[in-house]
Each structure stands twice: as structure tokens, then as C-alpha cells.
Amino acid sequence: MNKIIILNGPNLNLLGEREKNQYGSFTLKDVEKSCKDYANQNNIKLSLFQSNVEGELVTQIQNARNSQDGLIINAGGYTHTSVAIHDALKILKIPIIELHISNIYNREEFRHKSLISSVARGIVCGFGAEGYVMSLNAMSKYLTK
């Protein structure tokens, strides 16, 4: 059974509350439910974590070192700013998928730079909420190949 963790960064706890045109009308609970359903059907041991605090995300990434087979991260705004998250991810030997609900490359220029892409195995970006299950599918296929 593959162990996969999905980390969500700042403000993603507010999904479905505003900016629905950008991020859709689904809530984080909805997203987590579809991920749990997918995990149950596909023999995946899934962990989910969301925080608005950079250091808490760093700690989860460090803990994944010895406890997870794969890590999926939507670092929210920290994607574009956090050297600490980049450094923590770089230490990991397990595969990392960078995930975004929106296509960060057709938005404001400050979103075009990601500090995560260079340490990620792959990127899922621009497919809305569906991107979460797409990432789980990609990770689980990658781990079992």
C-alpha cells in the first residue's frame, strides 16, 4: 500500500468562499472527500494536511522523509516566495508533485515563478479541483510502476 500525503498551503482552507471564478465553488472538504474516496478505491494510505503557517508546512515535509512514499503539495502563495519550503522539499528522496488549481502561467507575472518546480518530479496545474485526484492518480501510478 502506497503512503501519500497531500499538503495544502495558505488560504486554501477558504476554497469555495470567494474568488469562485478563479478557484471554483468546491470547498477544501469537498476536495479532501474526493481524494479519500480515490485513495480507498486504489489501495492508497492517504494523509491530508492544510496550514496557513510556513513552518508547519516545513515540519510536515520533514516528517514525510521517513513516513511517506510520495508527497503532493499545493503551497498556495508560498509557491512563489518560500525558500524554506524549497529547501525542505529538496532534502526529500521521495517523489514530489507540485499542484495548482489554477494555471499559474496564464495569471499575473508574479505567479509565473515557482520555487517548487525545480524540486518536483512533475506539475499538475490548471485543472481545477480535478487536479487533486489527477495528482493522486499520477503519484500512485508512478510509485507502482
Active site positions, annotated: 23, 100
| Of 16-24, 43-51, 53-61, 84-92: span binding ligand CA2 (CB under 6 A) | 16-24
Strand partners, 98: 73, 123
Kindly tell me the burial class for residue 25, based on how many C-beta atoms sit within 10 Å of its own C-beta (0-12, 13-18, 19 or more). exposed
Using CB under 6 A, pick the residue from 7, 12, 115, 119 that binds ligand CA2: 12
Q: In the window 24-83, what residues touch ligand CA2 (CB under 6 A)?
A: 74, 76-77, 79
Task: Count Cβ neighbours within 10 Å for each residue of 91-109 and write b for 16 or more, e otherwise.
Answer: ebebbbbbbbbbebeeeee
Site string for ligand CA2, 84-123 (x = CB under 6 A): ----------------xxx-x------x------------
